[in-house]
A and B are shown apart, each in its own frame.
Chain A
Amino acid sequence: MTGAPATLFDKLWSAHEVVRRDDGASLLWVDRHLVHEGSHHGFAKLAARDLPVARPDLTFAVADHYVPTRGVPAVGSDIARMIRQLAENAARHGIRHFGMGDARQGIVHVIGPELGLTLPGLLVVCGDSHTSTHGALGAMAFGIGATEVAHVLATQTLWQKKPRRMRLRFDGALGPGVGAKDMALNWIARLGADGAGGHAIEYAGSAVRALSVEGRLTLCNLSIEGGGRLGIVAPDAATLDWLRGRDFAPADWDHAAEAWAALVSDPDAVFDREEVIDATEIAPIVTWGTSPEEALPITATVPDPDRAGAAADRVRAALDYMGLVPGRPLIGTPVDQVFIGSCTNARIEDLRAAAAVLAGRRARVPGRVSPGSAQVAAQAMAEGLDRVFIEAGLDWVGSGCSMCVGMNGDLVAPGMRCASTTNRNFRGRQGPGARTHLMSPAMVAAAAVTGTLADVRPLLKGRV
């Protein structure tokens, strides 16, 4: 390499920059465009101009947001219409489509990496904010709106202003029972839900290196919840081992692997911002409020608005919505149900982590387990994990976004408290009036077996 030292993000950006205008806007080449049922506004804009899809071979469609996780949609229902509309748009434009019942169907951010559609060094976009997930493989990946979806469909490019560069380092080793979800909620609680606003985050440090690819996907997934435009982890041997042999992995693997070795930040590259977190101090975390920044170690107590200074009103409103009493321990708060699923935590390792806690135990509350993809489901069943969930009393259902957003009708009822592996505890996210606590899959399993918010660590003794 010649020239000034560059960050990984700088390298990815310049490899995709077609032009840069004088005003600073860059036109970027897009390698993978993923679409789902919610992309209907983008297709409608394209149709309004009577334009073709520029590169159907680089566009992939998957049904996830509206698919029922049980049975088939009622004939004539909105859900059936949304799923059919995607299939029709895909067929009309010659786009490969993984519809309901396809062995490769699943949540868009689970199947992209899993099929090897997402590869190091590529630019991946999708009309969904959690597209940041794909950065875990060393790709540049971010969510876009419907106007931009139409633009990518029409031109295979996108105008963007380059975000600032931020490095977020986690030094040291995580304690037992602590994982990627806890790392993510920890930094978001520390820096705020807009803490990384306007920045591309590179995750680094020994605790990130030690994460499996699944863990990195979880970490990058939540970048957007801290305001980050995207998250990336430099590819390494773990990335390559994970990708080799996937459906769409490169035919000329050695050539690709050699090129990917250059995808690191140069040693003296300069970031606009650096943050360092001591991984040894991270405890299992749960959210208590209605923003992902409202998160605390499970061992903490419910915050007191009177001690929250300028944030008093916000804290009071959040506790009011969540039905929590200031000063009470988080541990022991009764939950009504649990959910294990979503693009954050429904990959095979997530299911294994939850099953390790649930094995031989009964859930005290009802709950649902929705594997992230049909492939994850098949793998879990081959390992007998579905039996563990079912014997614990939880429902084992099909894959899709399900109770993460409730578009398919999988809702948490008003006032009900749900321990959830998802990514958003916004008011009404899981249904009007639903009370969502975000946490890791192991922590959700702990909530299931105790019927309350609980510390998973004692439940893991002698198990992992």
Chain B
Amino acid sequence: MAGWSEHTGQAVGLPLENVDTDQLIPARFMSAPRSAGYGGYLLHDLRQGPDGAPDPAFPLNRAEGASILIARRNFGCGSSREAAVYALADAGFRVVVAPSFGDIFASNAVGNGVLPARVTDADAESLLNRAPLALTVDLEACELRHKGGTVPFEIDPVWRLKLINGWDDIDLTRAYGDRIAAHATRWAAQAPWSVPPG
């Protein structure tokens, strides 16, 4: 995963609360391998009208090339399906701006280089009012900048570093191999039932 610290792109507004992972990608698409590309599944059932044709009123259908999504509270609530992030990433999104996120979704996002940027309710509303708009996302300063001003955002410091450095956890963790082995040995002695009978 490549790290990044600044991104400028077009931001599109999705003025909804509780955009859950079943909206982000309906379950029926999840058996596909990632190599197939998940972008076409993003918000699939919200993007289409009852007749199956793209709904022209839906914001994402009017925002070709957008890379930043602005939404209301509790974005990405629901399932642990990382496919929800694959759908966003494969559709070109690098940043989601919202007042709160589902915890597992946020962690999955960071694991895929997508920033879940937390802003106040008031800032989310004011950005939604201006959308679509051009935004610069500065991970160093934790700021969103647009022509009309600057909005601060919050991100867990651990996640911020991970996004900037593009760290790969598996490689990082292997450097702790000795400590892991020592812990495993001590714990198996202290709680023998933690290792199930063969």
Q: Which residues of A contact B (CB under 8 A)?
A: 15-16, 18-19, 21, 23-25, 27, 29, 31-32, 38, 40-41, 44, 49, 51, 57-58, 66, 78, 81-82, 117, 119, 121-122, 127-129, 131, 142-148, 150-151, 154-157, 159, 161, 163, 192-194, 197-198, 224, 227, 229, 248, 250-252, 255-256, 259, 290-291, 293, 314, 405-407, 424, 426-429, 432
* CB–CB A129/B79 < 8 A: yes
24 contacts between A and B (CB under 8 A): A18-B179, A18-B180, A23-B157, A25-B158, A27-B176, A32-B196, A51-B170, A128-B79, A128-B80, A145-B81, A154-B170, A155-B173, A157-B173, A157-B176, A194-B77, A197-B74, A227-B103, A248-B196, A314-B18, A427-B20, A427-B22, A427-B45, A429-B22, A432-B45
Is B34 among interface residues, defined by CB-CB distance under 8 A? yes
- Known contacts A119-B194, A145-B111, A428-B45, then 9 further A-B pairs from the complex at CB < 8 Å, ordered by chain A residue: A15-B187, A18-B176, A38-B81, A194-B77, A251-B197, A293-B18, A407-B27, A427-B45, A428-B26
When distances are taken between beta carbons in the complex, the residues of chain A under 8 Å from B187 are 15-16, 29
When distances are taken between beta carbons in the complex, the residues of chain B under 8 Å from A250 are 192-193
Known: A18-B176, A145-B111. A193 touches B18 (CB 8 A): yes
CB < 8 Å: which of B27, B31, B158, B198 contacts A24?
A: B158
Number of B residues near A (Cβ < 8 Å) is 58
Docked CA distance A224–B102 (Å)? 9
When distances are taken between beta carbons in the complex, the residues of chain B under 8 Å from A38 are 30, 81
The minimal Cβ–Cβ distance linking A259 to chain B, given in whole angstroms, is 7
Docked CA distance A159–B172 (Å)? 10
When distances are taken between beta carbons in the complex, the residues of chain A under 8 Å from B78 are 129, 224, 424, 426
Which of the listed residues B34, B100, B196 has the most CB atoms from chain A within 10 Å of its own CB? B196
Which of the listed residues A117, A259, A405 has the most CB atoms from chain B within 10 Å of its own CB? A405
* CB–CB B161/A405 < 8 A: no
Is B33 among interface residues, defined by CB-CB distance under 8 A? yes
Docked CA distance A99–B80 (Å)? 22
Residue on B nearest A126 in the bound complex, by CB: B80
The minimal Cβ–Cβ distance linking A184 to chain B, given in whole angstroms, is 15
When distances are taken between beta carbons in the complex, the residues of chain B under 8 Å from A143 are 79-80, 104
* CB–CB B192/A161 < 8 A: no
The minimal Cβ–Cβ distance linking A273 to chain B, given in whole angstroms, is 15
Which of the listed residues B23, B79, B81, B85 has the most CB atoms from chain A within 10 Å of its own CB? B79
* CB–CB B197/A58 < 8 A: no
